[in-house]
Amino acid sequence: MANTPYAAMLFLGAATVLVGFGFSGWPLAGAGAYLVYGVAGAFWTMVFICPFCAYFATRGCPCGYGMIAARLVRKADRECFAEKFRRHIPVIVPLWLIPVIAGGVALWRSPSWWLAALVAAFVVNSYVILPLVSRRHSCTDCPQRQECPWMGEDARPAGASVPSARRGNDH
């Protein structure tokens, strides 16, 4: 379940590039490169973040990355998780930006309802559904959520309340 919105993001992003710029040489190569970048980003996460995660080499990992990562790299110190997360997550951030920028440029050049709908679907999936699934499915029971830059105390604005799903569930 945790990987479905990410996979949808990759396919919607590639489709945005293809529809926005035509099904020819460079757009086809760009869409393919985007898909490869997305898969490489998942492996980047497995290699550079997962070894520091409490779910490393366990079936408890909501993404399934923990077991795959264990075949690629050795376990590392859990105390470094937040630092490694902050350092390596920016590598995949462009996956959220490339389709929006490409779709925006293509829409500016040649408006299309079909492309606008595709960009809107990408935005809803990537900026609403994916974070919601992560926070509700993957992060809720994570033993490292308090120190996590995505879900932890430092991730919320000052004075923000703790969501009920996190209260009383400290490991």
What is the residue-level pLDDT of the chain in tens, covering all 171 positions?
779 999 999 999 999 999 999 989 999 999 999 999 999 999 999 999 999 999 999 988 888 899 999 999 999 999 899 999 999 999 999 999 999 999 999 999 999 999 999 999 999 999 999 999 888 887 777 888 788 787 666 554 444 443 433 333 333
Prediction pTM value: 0.84
- What is the span of the domain harbouring residue 85? 4-155
| Alpha carbons 86 and 80: distance in angstroms, whole number | 10
Q: Are 12 and 122 in contact (CB under 8 A)?
A: yes
9 in a domain, yes or no? yes
40 in a domain, yes or no? yes
pLDDT for the residue 166:
36
Nearest CA-CA partner of 13 in 127, 122, 125, 124: 122
Nearest CA-CA partner of 56 in 39, 64, 141: 64
171 in a domain, yes or no? no
- Cβ neighbours for 81, distance < 8 A, ≥ 6 positions apart: 49, 52, 53, 54, 144, 147, 148
Look at the chain and report how many structural domains it folds into.
Answer: 1
60 in a domain, yes or no? yes
Which DSSP letter does residue 75 get? Answer: -
32 in a domain, yes or no? yes
